[in-house]
Amino acid sequence: MISTVSGVITASEPSWIAPFTGLSPRAFGRLVTALRREGADFPGRGRPWKLSLEDRVLLVAAYWRTNLTMRQLAPLFGCRSRARTG
């Protein structure tokens, strides 16, 4: 059985943008547009992204601003963090 994840942080909900980026939703949109123009959303080789470019930018901003690890942030964005062994 596959369960759906609800209550995750997403850039499609503007109320999440300012606390995690320090930017207004409008400025955040301009940032994403500039990144897209520079080719940040170009599909490359390998596994495709699960998150949209907007959500990836929000994730990176949350990582920088909160000092949480990716393992801690992943469930907030509806992703699984892959544990590394070795």
**Whole-angstrom distance, CA of residue 65 vs CA of residue 44:** 28
Q: What is the DSSP string of 7-55?
A: S---TTSGGGHHHHHSS-HHHHHHHHHHHHHTTTT---SSSPPSS-HHH
Structure pTM?
A: 0.79
Q: Residue 31 has what pLDDT?
A: 96
Regarding predicted confidence, which is higher, 15 or 85? 15
Q: Residue 41 has what pLDDT?
A: 86
- Backbone conformation region of residue 45, classed left if phi is above 0, alpha if psi is from -120 to 50, else beta: beta
pLDDT tens-digit series, residues 39-70: 998 888 888 888 999 999 999 999 999 999 98
Q: Please report which confidence band the pLDDT of residue 7 belongs to, taking 50, 70 and 90 as the band edges.
A: confident
